[in-house]
Amino acid sequence: MTVKAIINGIPVEVAEGTSILDAAKKVSVKIPALCKHPDLDHTAACGICIVRIKATGRTLRACCTPLENGMEITTHDPEIVNVRRGIVEMIMSKHPNECVTCARNQNCELQTMCADFNIHTTDLDNIVPDLPVDATTKSIVLDPRKCISCGRCIQVCQKDQNVWALTFMERGIETRIAPAGDISMAESPCVKCGQCSAHCPTGAIVEYDEGPDVWAKLADPELHCVVQIAPAVRVAIGEAFGFKPGTNLTGKIYAALRRMGFKAVFDTNFGADLTILEEGSEFVERFAHGKGELPLITSCCPAWVDFMEKYHSDMIPHFSSCKSPHEMVGALSKTYYAEKIKTEAKKIYMVSVMPCTAKKYEIQRSDDMKSSGYQDVDVSITTRELARMIKQAGIDMQSIPEEQPDHLLGAYSGAGTIFGATGGVMEAAIRTALKLVTGQTPGRVDFEVTRGLKGVKEGVLEVAGKQVKIAVAHGLGNVEYVINKVREAKQKGEAPPWHFIEVMACPGGCVGGGGQPYGVTDELRLARAKGLYQEDQAGMWRCSHDNPYIQKLYDEYLGKPLSEKSHHLLHTHYNPRPQYQR
Amino acid sequence: MPKFTPSELDAHKAKLLAAPAKKAVIKVGLNTCGDAAGAQPVMAAIKEEVQKAGLDAQIVKTGCSGMCALEPLVEVTTAGAAPVQYGRVTAEAAREIVEKHIKGGRVVDAYKVPSVGDMSSEKPVPGKQYRIVLRNCGVIDPESLDEYIARDGYQALKQVLSGMTPEQVIAELETSGLRGRGGAGFPTFMKWKLTRASRPGEQKYIICNGDEGDPGAYMDRSVLEGDPHAVIEGMIIGGWVIGASQGIFYIRAEYPLAIERIEKAIKQARANGLLGKNILGTGFDFDLEVRLGAGAFVCGEETALIASIEGLRGTPRPRPPYPAQKGLWDQPSMVNNVETLANIGQIVLRGGAWFGAIGVGRSKGTKVFAVTGKVKVSGLIEIPMGTTLRQVVMDICGGTSSGKPVKAMQTGGPSGGLIPASLLDTPITYEDLGKLGSIMGSGGMIVMDESDNTVELSRFYLDFSVDESCGKCAPCRIGGTQMLRTIDKIVERKGTAADIAKIRKIALTMQRGSLCALGQTTPNPVLSALRYFESEWTERLVPATKK
């Protein structure tokens, strides 16, 4: 069913239920809106998108009003523009004028709105509240003074992520964002996924910035600084330098990191390949040899691990004991690599560059993260932090020539690359599981059923004559469905609905991570994922087990997957945290 | 008591009416207002005296008759005589009344006050009260199901369940012209029709909005306390018409007596087959529960109210979808105001045409107002629509208490506006009040005399709305506070002409940009004060200085 209406005199026809805001886009009319994020349901909080309905003369919000048959709509007239201006002025009257010292400077939706409406003077009183900053998670920082109460973070935290850490407190002019119950963010159910920061239009929620610490360490002559970059970083960071979304800048990032002073540049994709060997073996143990519970559930997403420990700890027996890829690389950098270069592990300083804010939490989540005897990863910075550091270092990303990683912990297969997109871990694991079970690399290694942005993807694969049922969920809000089905089957004593489940906390997987460049939408998630799949297609090796440096690592150091040494360095434990309840 | 069938209900009513009358009936108003004024000791004194003297008198605890200024009220009816109303009765005075009036048969003139009857008429005429919603308030014991049944209680329900179709009920409502009494005036039949048509067969809810919150307004409290069964009967009929099996009373927690009486009445109705499974033996299942509001004014807005029942933060959400499409727990739901529901039974019994003949234009029936401020007799009144503001002040409330001329009237509470004395001949209708920049509202009405100041009154209302803004949307959340700060500047005589312009600009932004009616109407009191009493504002400004 479609509806026909007229916007600014231009006839428009859209599907029933389309908002006036979206319908206007179809006829090249951009209605200004501040609180509406393309990813999220409307919160109807700012009122800037008002339009006039001719029949009643009333003004309604375009973001939350569906277009109706026969409507005649004016989106811009002097009064509407004045009202919009008035609202922006009001919001600014309660917003600190700290643009130049704000993490969102030049990348702030409110700032852009002020520029568009040329708000340089106002007759309104300045009524910025005095509220404390909450940096207790050391992953994301909440500055409620900068909050414009658009409600996006709450929407994404409660509805999309099902975490319910953030809420509005108080009412009226006192309204502010805070963890429910006014506890600290660290005490709250927050899983540090950072989707709040990814969707915040201002600097009210940002990553915990550790760039300055990294510079200090790089300048320390006693330290041997090494770095690794996660799969999803390479296809997103370009957005900060004017590249098309999805452009793969792997070689340029390596080069930039070396210029910044890193002694060795590794790649988390190597860790991803290693994860597949370990986790794939774990799966085969459980699936083919009946050792351990099914389904096996992936564990490389720290926000998911945190969420599971808090709310679904009965799933612990199902969790893969594998650490996440960057933790594996971290542990190996201070053992295997340290031995190779004959340097004391304590002198090695490992920096992870991640699309993720939760990784900042993960590096200290338990003593298992100190398997080398030292903290395996010393600091984890986000894509956004690295982009800023590259700018500070005066590196021209457009023209810098590409370089190679340090292959020892830096060579990788296409399977490692696609870890950055939802379904990628599953697809990579299947490629290797087939090899482990049948002894042969499959002829065709593309398993499209795992790809795309559908919230829960399910499929059945043939492995050596047996059916492997898989499920892939991304966005924590989609997890409940999957977990409940597993739980139900378990309670009824039935066979599990799936054998292998991949979960990523962020919609789209790591490409849509909470630490990625701002402005994420599904379009962007798809473009970034496409960049990863293109690299996978073009690579020399498509399967983790084909990565010769992985083979070398096992030959020289670990022995074989799931060996004692592997278990010590590459695996972890989980703990239920019953104080968190639904 | 047995569970009633339709015929048993009638038989029970006949039995009640046939009971021999006591020689004397003494009624003591014991709503929250009476209680606060000291009616409990009065009641105790009367009981004691009657018992001591061994008199054949029936002592009845009633709701509020509306003469709030004269509480505690005691009404005495002796056989063959017209009721006599006593006001501002103390325990001592009560003993005297029993002694002289009940025992001695002499009216005690010292305590005699005008009664509602003095201000009312049997037929709806302008300048007189006419009681539909308040017909039982101050008349019956609200905690007695029998007294309600004796006054035609549950007859409408019986009539609906034994022979009418839902469409017929809706048609009667359409003919009646009844509109939502919460303030917005949406045609009630339309709401019922839309909710009935929405997703047939699915779980639906009817919700009674008892989150009355306008400062100085207490119409709904009085009805819930004084005639709870009338609202319950309206709920059951509404539930049946729209196809709901569950109804919810949403009552603000600050109304403990209303909650207590409604809960008691629900239990009585349930015990007598008027609520619960198989109502009146007709196979209709419907039950009611009470949910308490936690003090937020905005929860009187239907979508915020629904969010509050769901345990969420009470903030409005955009409509559509309307509650009829997607309401409580995402099911089709209908939110009706207390006064609206209290009208239903009478409309069913006496017919939509009867109701539609009362009032003028598109404003039909009666409206209850809480009249306060500078009037001789403040309190609750029910008048036919179309009565003028002047008739309310002069004829019904006895003119100003100070004797000074009326300066203005304020209707619609914090969402309404001021109406100057020059416009007192305006008839009270949705349309006429709207034209003046005010609204009908839920029934708050404040009378100001010439010693009052409109700057301060409008500031009072603005302060209220600012405090009650839920904070969801920017124009209301920030605009209200900014406007208040600007008015404070003017009150402190530090404002300039630019500040008046600023107020108007903020007001426009709030009216056009706010999501719900609270924000859209917050500027109304201020704007109407500026419209009709601009000089009161300008005289407070700092004079422009030449540069």
Task: Let me know whether B367 and B387 are in one domain.
Answer: yes
Confidence of residue A582 (pLDDT cuts 50, 70, 90): confident
Distance from CA of A157 to the nearest CA of B (A): 15
d(CA A34, CA B12): 64
Which residues form the domain of B532? 454-538
pLDDT in tens, A314-331: 999 999 999 999 999 999
Task: Let me know whether B425 and B492 are in one domain.
Answer: no
- B100: domain CATH number is 3.40.30.10
Task: Let me know whether B391 and B462 are in one domain.
Answer: no
Does some domain include residue B10? Answer: yes
pLDDT in tens, A354-398: 999 999 999 999 999 999 999 999 999 999 999 999 999 999 999
State whether A172 and B477 contact (CB < 8 Å): yes
**Counting every residue, how long is chain A?**
582
Instruction: Tell me which chain A residue has its CA closest to the CA of residue B315.
Output: A171
What distance separates the 2 farthest-apart alpha carbons in chain A? 80
Chain centroid to CA A450: how far? Answer: 18
Q: What is the mean pLDDT of residues B253-266?
A: 98
Domain finish residue from B119, B154, B183: B119
Domain finish residue from B449, B468, B496: B449
Task: Let me know whether B303 and B205 are in one domain.
Answer: yes
Residues of B in contact with A36 (CB under 8 A): none
| Of B8, B1, B7, B5, the residue nearest B283 (C-alpha) | B5
Does some domain include residue B138? Answer: no
- B475: domain CATH number is 1.20.1440.230
Q: What ipTM was predicted for this assembly?
A: 0.93
Angle at A432 between CA A427 and CA A437, to 5 degrees: 125
Helix (H, G, I), strand (E, B) or coil at A444: coil
Taking 90 as the threshold, does the pLDDT of residue B21 lie above it?
no
d(CA B47, CA A155): 60
Confidence of residue A214 (pLDDT cuts 50, 70, 90): very high
pLDDT in tens, B89-102: 999 999 999 999 99
Distance from CA of B325 to the nearest CA of A (A): 14
Q: What is the mean pLDDT of residues B259-271?
A: 98
Q: What is the mean pLDDT of residues A242-253?
A: 98
Pick the CATH number of A212-570 from 3.40.50.1780, 3.40.50.720, 3.40.640.10, 3.40.109.10: 3.40.50.1780
| Of B516, B335, B344, B369, the residue nearest B441 (C-alpha) | B369
Does some domain include residue B131? Answer: no
Task: Let me know whether B209 and B236 are in one domain.
Answer: yes
pLDDT in tens, A493-534: 999 999 999 999 999 999 999 999 999 999 999 999 999 999
**Counting every residue, how long is chain B?**
547
Residue-level pLDDT at B544: 72
Please tell me if residue B494 touches chain A, with a CB cutoff of 8 Å: no
Instruction: Tell me which chain B residue has its CA closest to the CA of residue A85.
Output: B509
Q: What is the CATH number of domain A102-207?
A: 3.30.70.20
Task: Let me know whether B338 and B368 are in one domain.
Answer: no
Does some domain include residue B1? Answer: no
Please tell me if residue A44 touches chain B, with a CB cutoff of 8 Å: yes
Question: What is the domain partition of chain A in residue ranges?
Answer: 2-76, 102-207, 212-570
Domain finish residue from B449, B464, B496: B449
Helices B497-513 and B474-491, axial angle in degrees (round to 10)? 160
Q: Tell me the Cα Rg of chain B.
A: 24
User: How many structural domains is chain B composed of?
Assistant: 4
Taking 90 as the threshold, does the pLDDT of residue B221 lie above it?
yes
d(CA B482, CA B465): 13
Q: What is the CATH number of domain A2-76?
A: 3.10.20.740
Size of interface A-B (CB pairs under 8 A): 109
Contact B236, B287 (CB under 8 A): no
Integer CA distances (angstroms), A27 to A11, A21, A24, A75, A242, in order: 8, 11, 5, 12, 27
Does some domain include residue B546? Answer: no
Task: Let me know whether B168 and B149 are in one domain.
Answer: yes
Task: Let me know whether B245 and B293 are in one domain.
Answer: yes
Confidence of residue B120 (pLDDT cuts 50, 70, 90): confident
d(CA B86, CA B80): 18
pLDDT in tens, B430-480: 999 999 989 999 999 999 999 999 999 999 999 999 999 999 999 999 999
Residue-level pLDDT at A464: 77
Q: What is the mean pLDDT of residues A427-439?
A: 91
State whether A86 and B313 contact (CB < 8 Å): no
Helix (H, G, I), strand (E, B) or coil at B484: helix
DSSP output for B292-339: EE-S-GGGGSHHHHHHHHTTS------SSSPTTTS-GGGS-EEEEEHH
Please tell me if residue B489 touches chain A, with a CB cutoff of 8 Å: no
Please tell me if residue B504 touches chain A, with a CB cutoff of 8 Å: no
Taking 90 as the threshold, does the pLDDT of residue B514 lie above it?
yes
* Residues in B 274-303 with any Cβ partner in A closer than 8 A: 296
Does some domain include residue B277? Answer: yes
Task: Let me know whether B175 and B272 are in one domain.
Answer: yes
Please tell me if residue B506 touches chain A, with a CB cutoff of 8 Å: yes
Instruction: Tell me which chain B residue has its CA closest to the CA of residue A149.
Output: B472
State whether A172 and B468 contact (CB < 8 Å): yes
Global confidence as pTM: 0.93
Q: What is the mean pLDDT of chain A?
A: 96
Confidence of residue B127 (pLDDT cuts 50, 70, 90): confident
pLDDT in tens, A525-570: 999 999 999 999 999 999 999 999 999 999 999 999 999 999 999 9
Task: Let me know whether B371 and B336 are in one domain.
Answer: no
Does some domain include residue B373? Answer: yes
Does some domain include residue B125? Answer: no
- B436: domain CATH number is 3.10.20.600
